[in-house]
Structure 1
Amino acid sequence: MKNILIPTDFSDNAWDALLYAIRLYDTVPAHFYILHTYQAGTSRTSNRMSKYRDTHLHRVLKDESEKGLKKIQRYLDENLLNDDHKYQTISQAGDLVFQIKQVVANYNIDIIVMGTTGATGAKEIFMGSNAVSVINHIELCPVLTVPKDYEFTELKNIMFATDLKKKFSSIELDCLLELQTIHDSKINLLYVKEYYGLNENQLYNLIEIKALFKDNPATFLETELKDKVAKTIINYCEKNEVDLVCLVNSEKKFLKKLMEENVIKKMSFHSAIPLLIIPI
């Protein structure tokens, strides 16, 4: 059973991310956990009236959270019938990232799928920041972000952008390998060429990575660095009909010489294609 976590703020974008996840794992036995978190402000003063206001606000937010989740649960149970799928809602007070960490640990979550609206406007910056915060602080499972207004497309082409400086194991790339198997996807290994070609270590890692996709061999592609890494990847994927982009969020970040660019953050904000971030 696949355990999938969907954080929601009851927005259309969060709803689209939920539907995307359901379609993505349509043929797989899966348990979907829909999480909504809320936070009531705490007054600095400790008089009786301020405590009453805090308690009242907490109750209001709790009721709204539970009502919103019941609405989602009812729709899923009535309209998205799949004997292999189960849906469960969770309402929690507290910080989003902290509560996600708790749910990931308590329910053995395999992947988090959440919407991100991009970096245009106050609400969008807030939503985008949430996605980036989750990516940067969740270390136990992959995070899949779904851009605003994106409709599910069968994963025919998956782009795995890598600098080939690390040797990956099948366990580390389990999520990507599984998606490839489910959708019979073509994997394209994209290397952004900065100055020189591949060195001996990178060539060895390339052979090893290709071997992981033995049932459906991966294709190696090179592209010249133009402007910034994130922009280069996004432009390449949009021109080549890529359905999903995969990046590894390691301690060394992506492309060591370009750490200051913060590729993960820029991709999360600006990619018009679903983005799978694998923590290693």
Structure 2
Amino acid sequence: MKKKILLPTDFSKNSTNAIHYAVQLYKEEQCEFFILHSCYVPGYAKSNLISVDNVDQTLTAAKEAAEKKMEELKTQPPFTVTSTNHTFKYLIEIGDLTDNLKNTIKNNTITLVVMGTRGETDSKHLILGSNAVVTMEKVRGCPVLAIPGHITYKAPSEIVFPTSFKTTYTKAELAVLVEIASLTNAPIRVLYIQKNLDFSTKQIENKALLNTLLEPTTYTHHKLYNQNLHNGVRSFVQSRDSGMIAFVNKKHSFFGSIFSNPMVKDLGNNTNVPILALHNLEH
């Protein structure tokens, strides 16, 4: 059965780079890639704000421009490279990006979203652009892998997985992490930023469960003492030249809302590695 992976594009270099990354990451796997351009037209959802005629004209022009860019995209690698493993579907949807992503994920049983961390309209001073931030926080139907624009694909040397052991993870939540680790032969480094010397009974149980869930991979445990969470993750990743950060983004958890500022700026500006946001699938 083919994996179904969603690749949003705004036709920027960063989004195209993320597409290349995804195709290389899953080059040996049977995959169906959905290339989605979300075209936002002001007034489309709230036609009372401007005249219907103007909305229709703007909508037609926007769709035509998007279709032209999509046709141009199809003439570029990796779409021109023959692969027995990969097929591509091209989608243009009008409306809000988050809504379009959620609908596409639901309607096509998407298992992973891979996107660039900065789009065409985002400030070049931001590592994580606004669309990536919103997607990783709001799109909770499947994991989101955000790729910095300057990173070309190479198998990660290791994947850092910070945890407090206060969260009870499930096999489904960690499935894509285990999958990527297995595909790339990347060991998982479980990182605990230690504040208390002793674990609670619940933490001990959660650690044991996590070990069981990570059994298909190579993994090791690491501790940092008396460090700020953000600085601890950053310094650990930098000192080891780690290739990816992964975490489960649960509300009211270890990270809380990890992608709220200033975490976005701090983590993004100081790691420059792909970030895999896994989600509590009950949300």
When residues 201 and 88 of structure 1 are mapped into structure 2, their CA distance, relative to the original with a 3 A threshold, is same
SS in 1 for 2:76: helix
Q: Distance in 2 between matches of 1:70 and 1:115?
A: 20
Instruction: Give the aligned residue type for 1:149.
Output: H
Q: Does 1:252 align with 2:248?
A: no
Cross-structure match for 2:230:
230
TM-score (norm. length: structure 1) = 0.87
Deviations 1:47-72 (A, max 9, x none): xxx54433222111101111111222
Cross-structure match for 1:141:
142
When residues 18 and 267 of structure 1 are mapped into structure 2, their CA distance, relative to the original with a 3 A threshold, is farther
- Residue ranges of structure 1 left out of the alignment (5+ in a row): none
Cross-structure match for 2:74:
73
When residues 16 and 147 of structure 1 are mapped into structure 2, their CA distance, relative to the original with a 3 A threshold, is same
Cross-structure match for 2:212:
211
Is the 8 Å Cα contact of residues 167 and 253 (structure 2) preserved in structure 1?
A: no
Is the 8 Å Cα contact of residues 128 and 264 (structure 2) preserved in structure 1?
A: no
Is the 8 Å Cα contact of residues 123 and 129 (structure 2) preserved in structure 1?
A: no
- Residue ranges of structure 2 left out of the alignment (5+ in a row): none
Deviations 1:99-156 (A, max 9, x none): 00110001110000111139xx736659712111111211210000011211112133
TM-score (norm. length: structure 2) = 0.87
Is the 8 Å Cα contact of residues 167 and 206 (structure 2) preserved in structure 1?
A: yes
Q: Distance in 1 between matches of 2:176 and 2:231?
A: 25
Q: Distance in 1 between matches of 2:97 and 2:73?
A: 19
Q: Distance in 2 between matches of 1:21 and 1:157?
A: 17
Deviates more, 1:158-167 or 1:192-201: 192-201
When residues 93 and 240 of structure 1 are mapped into structure 2, their CA distance, relative to the original with a 3 A threshold, is same
Counting only pairs closer than 5 Å after superposition, residues 55-70 of structure 1 correspond to structure 2 as: 55-70=56-71
Instruction: Give the aligned residue type for 2:158.
Output: N
Counting only pairs closer than 5 Å after superposition, residues 159-178 of structure 1 correspond to structure 2 as: 159-178=160-179
Counting only pairs closer than 5 Å after superposition, residues 63-212 of structure 1 correspond to structure 2 as: 63-76=64-77, 79-117=80-118, 122=123, 128-212=129-213
Cross-structure match for 2:278:
278
Cross-structure match for 1:2:
3
When residues 204 and 76 of structure 1 are mapped into structure 2, their CA distance, relative to the original with a 3 A threshold, is same
Q: Distance in 2 between matches of 1:173 and 1:78?
A: 30
Q: Distance in 1 between matches of 2:155 and 2:254?
A: 27
Deviations 1:6-30 (A, max 9, x none): 1111110111111011111111100
When residues 33 and 91 of structure 1 are mapped into structure 2, their CA distance, relative to the original with a 3 A threshold, is same
Instruction: Give the aligned residue type for 1:218.
Output: Y
Is the 8 Å Cα contact of residues 163 and 191 (structure 2) preserved in structure 1?
A: yes
SS in 2 for 1:122: coil
Computed over aligned residues only, the root mean square deviation of the Cα atoms, in angstroms, reads 2.7
When residues 4 and 268 of structure 1 are mapped into structure 2, their CA distance, relative to the original with a 3 A threshold, is farther
Is the 8 Å Cα contact of residues 162 and 247 (structure 1) preserved in structure 2?
A: yes
